[in-house]
């Protein structure tokens, strides 16, 4: 319980930063042309090329050693994040992102401060509106040239991938996170139900709706990626991207090519915002409910509850400020990797052991029969005692630090030219590794997330050994 509560707090802190990014993009979507489609702004570099200047700039780039970048990437890195050279260069708080983050936490506070009934009423809007926007975007993207190829690429299974344990690892981690398993949020929300409420039915509906929602969102994304691949005459795998880059680089780039692009951008980022806020209701409510179990006055006194919720939001906001600095993306990646994936699997493993072997499957089944009036049979016992513990333990074993071939060699003091130094700094990579004796795997993971991480390490020496 304590571990789940702590993880829930950490996830809330960094997940709301995504809402801050989404708010930034939403506010700047009310202009034409969209700012991430331009190459003549203060945040752009000489290597920027847009659709209107692509041919000219490509010719210039072919005659130079500079790698060109599209305006959506430069807007994300140089305008929104204003990313620094590394995690050791935290820099200043970006006031625009700080205000967006403050607005996100203010919305969350106002929606949940008075209790589950108020937030439940708000959820009728936040939980249903995104489906309207998704259906609108799906209809629009399905009419794009190349959308069919994108949907086929998305829906056609590659059975050979079933033999890749890394695929199982990624899928299992995503399931834990998307279903909020081992975070305590669903357990806390379920505590508001009556004793004999059929939670088994709710679990089945929740899993079904979550799966269908993911499928619908995937269709919207890959229909757009198919159009991008068809336009650029490349395979769709070359334009597909995961993580924040998909929502804040690839998809905005695609939106910028559509007619009436500001309208579609507003629809997309408003959908993203509503989905995020809806998820945060459960996360923050679950964290507050953990304290309410020990301080019952939180449930009975609205003023006291508002004070507790306000304190939680303020502390979470202050923690989140570290992720809206120049080096905030590196801190965000650390939060995401260590509090959003690895540790959740550990808690999930321990929970199944506690239910299956400490508390006992027999007692747990009797409790369920008392609550629901029926038994689930032997199948859940097999999952609680054997399948789920083994599966989570196996995935946890696969989630070990992964080094690229260049990073496995050694970190070096780069002999990059001034041009390459500027390019690397733009992408958030420090090219001077003097003063560092060892490179930990956390920093390795951060370097691997950037575009030019391999360029920085071309002249690797034996002076900087890696350490686990």
Beta bridge partners of 440: 467
Residue numbers in the known binding site are: 178, 210, 275, 278-279
- State whether the Cα torsion 70-75-78-80 is positive or negative: negative
What would the two tokens of residue 87 be?
């995690």
Q: For the packed helices 2-27 and 261-292, what is the interaxial angle rounded to 10 degrees?
A: 160
Q: For the packed helices 165-178 and 343-353, what is the interaxial angle rounded to 10 degrees?
A: 80
SS3 at position 105: helix
What would the two tokens of residue 335 be?
């939060």
Beta bridge partners of 93: 325
Q: What is the torsion angle, in degrees rounded to the nearest 10, for the CA atoms of residue 79, residue 281, residue 267 and residue 451? A: 40
Residue with tokens 């006291």: 304
- List alpha helices for 301-412, DSSP H: 302-321, 328-337, 343-353, 361-372, 379-382, 388-398, 405-409
What would the two tokens of residue 412 be?
């070096």
Q: How many residues does the chain have?
A: 468
In whole angstroms, how far apart are CA 71 and each of 47, 127, 141?
10, 33, 22
Residue numbers in the known binding site for Na(+) are: 178, 210, 275, 278-279
Q: Are 13 and 322 a contacting pair, CB within 8 Å? A: no
- State whether the Cα torsion 206-211-216-221 is positive or negative: positive
What would the two tokens of residue 401 be?
């630090």
Cα–Cα distance between 409 and 403 in angstroms, integer? Answer: 9
What would the two tokens of residue 128 be?
């249903």
Residue 12 exposure: Cα atoms within 13 Å on the Cβ side: 31
């Amino acid at each position: 319980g304590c571990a789940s509560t702590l993880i829930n707090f950490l996830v809330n802190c960094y997940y709301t930063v995504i809402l801050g990014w989404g708010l930034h993009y939403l506010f700047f979507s009310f202009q034409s042309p969209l700012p991430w489609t331009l190459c003549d702004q203060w945040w752009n570099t000489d290597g920027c090329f847009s659709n209107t200047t692509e041919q000219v700039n490509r010719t210039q780039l072919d005659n130079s050693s500079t790698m060109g970048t599209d305006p959506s990437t430069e807007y994300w890195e140089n305008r929104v994040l204003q990313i620094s050279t590394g995690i050791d260069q935290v820099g200043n708080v970006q006031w625009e992102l700080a205000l967006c983050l403050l607005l996100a936490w203010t919305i969350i506070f106002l929606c949940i401060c008075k209790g589950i009934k108020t937030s439940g009423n708000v959820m009728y809007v936040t939980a249903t509106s995104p489906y309207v926007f998704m259906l609108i975007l799906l209809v629009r993207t399905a009419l794009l040239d190349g959308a069919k190829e994108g949907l086929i690429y998305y829906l056609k299974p590659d059975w050979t991938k079933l033999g890749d344990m890394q695929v199982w690892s990624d899928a299992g981690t995503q399931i834990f996170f998307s279903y909020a398993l081992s975070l305590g949020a669903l357990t806390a929300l379920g505590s508001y139900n009556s004793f004999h409420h059929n939670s088994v039915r709710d679990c089945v509906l929740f899993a079904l709706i979550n799966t269908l929602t993911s499928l619908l969102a995937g269709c919207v994304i890959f229909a757009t990626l198919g159009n991008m691949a068809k336009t650029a005459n490349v395979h769709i795998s070359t334009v597909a991207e995961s993580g924040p880059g998909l929502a804040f680089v690839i998809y905005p780039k695609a939106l910028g090519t559509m007619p009436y692009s500001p309208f579609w951008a507003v629809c997309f980022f408003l959908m993203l915002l509503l989905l995020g806020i809806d998820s945060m209701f459960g996360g923050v409510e679950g964290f507050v409910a953990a304290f309410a179990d020990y301080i019952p006055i939180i449930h009975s006194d609205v003023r006291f509850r508002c004070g507790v919720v306000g304190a939680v939001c303020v502390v979470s906001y202050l923690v989140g400020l570290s992720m809206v600095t120049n080096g905030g993306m590196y801190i965000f990646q650390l939060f995401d990797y260590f509090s959003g994936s690895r540790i959740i699997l550990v808690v999930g493993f321990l929970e199944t052991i506690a239910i299956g072997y400490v508390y006992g499957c027999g007692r747990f089944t009797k409790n369920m029969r008392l609550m629901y009036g029926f038994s689930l049979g032997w199948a859940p016992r097999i999952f609680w005692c054997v399948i789920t513990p083994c599966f989570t333990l196996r995935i946890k074993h696969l989630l070990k630090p992964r080094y690229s071939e260049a990073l496995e060699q050694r970190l070096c003091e780069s002999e990059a030219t001034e041009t390459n130094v500027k390019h690397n700094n733009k992408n958030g990579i420090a090219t001077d590794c003097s003063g560092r004796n060892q490179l930990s795997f956390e920093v390795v993971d951060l370097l691997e997330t950037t575009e030019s991480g391999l360029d920085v390490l071309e002249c690797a020496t034996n002076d900087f050994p890696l350490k686990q």
